[in-house]
Every structure is written in structure tokens, then in C-alpha cells.
Structure 1
């Protein structure tokens, strides 16, 4: 089972803790803001506010938002990064690709996105694993069609969308089918019953409990 620390790369202390915990991948969200590659899941509302769905609006000055360069420096060449490219700006992809060429040349990190067109920016870096994400029923239908047409390195799919039959179908085309978000014991049991090959979780103690001794 591939173990992924969900959003742990969005804070430098959390990134270090997840790497030290021995997870297989640490996921971090990359957003483009005023030319800078920021590591945050929250969306920007104008220049001063950040908004996380189902949470309160936060003033930007009250949050510490690292840059991709900070994350790459902290990772220090560790290949266990999974960079989730977020919209709405398409420029996030080529800028991230350029940052990896400069700061982590040859390091086999993983990139993923629900906007699959962004993954094309990494075609000239074959050591980078490109993962196609699906967060709704329409995207799942599209990804099922995609894997029949071409080989993909991996998939990341919302847990609630899948059945054992669909997972088995996807595994006919790729060895890596990860699900998110698996934050409780019940969700872990559901993921195992589906037969997936990886879980993405914000619950680091849960990941530690699953990790091999």
C-alpha cells in the first residue's frame, strides 16, 4: 500500500514530520499567485484573503504560506514529493516544471492534477511520474476511457466514486490507483476492500499505523 500524507507539504514543519514518519509520498498543493508558486490548498480571494472550503476565511497576513522553492529546499533532494497542481492559472505547470529542472534536476518526484492538460508540461522530464486525478463522476468516466487509450503512471481518485469492479478495471491498465481522502479507520477499511494500491490521508498517525514496521 502506497502511503501519501495529504497536504503535509503545505507547511515546512509538516513536510519534515511526514518525511520522518516514513510515508511513501508527501502531497503538496501548488498555486500560482502574482508570479510566485505558493504551497496552499486555500483559494485566494483578492490580495488579502484566503478561503478554504467548509472553513472560515483567513487573512493572508495571518498565514504562513511557503513557496515551492522552500519546499524543495526542505526536501533536499528527497523524491517523496507529490505536487498537486491547482488552477485556475495554467502557468502553474510550466513554472513548476522549470523549478524542478533548476532546483531538483533528475529527482523522480510525482506531479498530479485534476486539470490533465497541465501534466503535458513535464513530458520532457521522463523521470517525473505524472498522475491523473479524478474528483467527480464525469472525471472518473473520462479517466476510464483515458487508460484504455494510453498508458498512465498512476491515478488519484476520490474514494466515494469507486467500486471494487472499477478499481479492478483500472488496475488492468496501471499499477497505481490511489484514493483520497482516507482519514478514518472506516475509510481505511473501505479503501482496502476496494483493492486500491495507495491511500492519501491527512491523518499521519493513521498512516504510521499502516506503515510496515
Structure 2
């Protein structure tokens, strides 16, 4: 299959959704959090009772408006293939996503990924969900190789630092798509494609544009 251009975090805002669709990205990723019974899409993390959201050097007011998953899906006008990155380690969030998809009548294909595989497994029971298991470190990668050997899934998402041609070849015997991140410069894009990965997750429009134009 052709390599997928995946717009990292583009679904975390309506402006990002529009920009990624205009670019022609194959997949638009968003980060899904459950908070106080609501499903939100955002990269920033909560800080318990403190009145802000944070991530490394970025802060935002906790009272600022937050984009809901339903609002994002309803704003889609392009039959977008979303990749919902489930955050946290509670399967209740995955069940809430499954309920939302059912209640909204959405039955188009949707990718669901996460490092907490039981949450991905919950949503994989839906016939239109394409499950993607993520690995960020070597221990997770070791477990991932064993898991997909026993029970193949649609795809995996593995940090670029962990991938070699041999690892990619091994993964592709069990999965359709080997995605990797963060691919944010053109040299890294070239080397990533050279080792056989066929899903490029990038924050940079120039990288996605180069991948799309090469096909």
C-alpha cells in the first residue's frame, strides 16, 4: 500500500482540521481525553485542581473553551479518516468513545490508537474501527512484537528511534500499516521511507506535502 501522510494533532482544533484537509492529508490525528464525563480533543494536559493546562513549555487557562470530540466529528465535511489517540489508562474513556460513535450514527472507518492497549481493544470490537497499537519505548516495543505475532491488528505506531529495517519487516508480517513519529524534517522522511515504514506522522505541513507529492 502507499505510504500514509498523517497530520499529527491536526484534529485538536477546527483550524487544524481545515488546514490538514486542505493539504490533503490521508489521516488526521487527535488526542482524546475524558474529563468529568466529557470527551475532549486536546494535546495539553490537566494539572489536577490547578487552573491551567500544560505541556512542557506551554501553558493555557483551564477555563478556556475546549473542543469536544463530537463537535470535531460534526465539523467534518470531507469524510476525514480520523485517528483517535486515546489518552489515559482507563477503559471507561474507550467505552465513552464507542457510545458517542454509536449515538452519533457515525459508521465510517476510524483509526483508534493508544499506548494503553486494553482501551484500543474495547473499540476494536466495532466493525468500522481500525485498531492501532502504540509503542514509545523498548519495553513496549518488545511486548508489541509479541502481541501482533499472536493477534494481528490493522496497524502499529512506533517511535522513530525504535525502528530498524529488521523491526519494520517483522512488524509488517502481522500488520498492514507501520506508522512512526515524529517525522518533522525531509531527511528523516527519506530515511523513514527507506526502512519500510508506510505511515508518516508529522507536525510539519512541508513534510506531509513532500510525501503526498512523491506518490
CA–CA distance in structure 2, aligned partners of residues 205 and 119 of structure 1: 30
Q: What do the CA deviations read for 1:49-81 (whole angstroms, capped 9, x no partner)?
A: 1111x21332223x4420001111112472410
Contact kept in structure 2, 1:8 and 1:15, CA below 8 Å? yes
CA–CA distance in structure 1, aligned partners of residues 105 and 27 of structure 2: 16
Aligned equivalent of 2:177: 176
What do you get for the CA RMSD once the two structures are aligned?
Answer: 1.6
TM-score norm. by structure 1 comes to 0.93
Matches within 5 A, 1:18-167: 18-47=20-49, 48-52=51-55, 54-61=56-63, 63-76=64-77, 78-167=79-168
Q: What do the CA deviations read for 1:30-63 (whole angstroms, capped 9, x no partner)?
A: 00111110101111002421111x21332223x4
Contact kept in structure 1, 2:89 and 2:116, CA below 8 Å? no
Contact kept in structure 1, 2:8 and 2:202, CA below 8 Å? yes
CA–CA distance in structure 2, aligned partners of residues 123 and 194 of structure 1: 28
Q: What is the CA-CA distance between 1:186 and the residue it aligns to?
A: 2.4
Gaps of 5+ in 1: none
CA–CA distance in structure 2, aligned partners of residues 101 and 113 of structure 1: 20
Alpha carbons of 1:147 and 1:89: their partners in 2 closer, same or farther (altered >3 Å)?
Answer: closer
Structure 1's consecutive aligned runs of 4 or more residues displaced over 4 angstroms after TM superposition are: none
TM-score norm. by structure 2 comes to 0.92
Contact kept in structure 1, 2:114 and 2:133, CA below 8 Å? yes
Aligned equivalent of 2:201: 200
Contact kept in structure 2, 1:114 and 1:132, CA below 8 Å? yes
CA–CA distance in structure 2, aligned partners of residues 13 and 5 of structure 1: 13
Contact kept in structure 1, 2:9 and 2:29, CA below 8 Å? yes
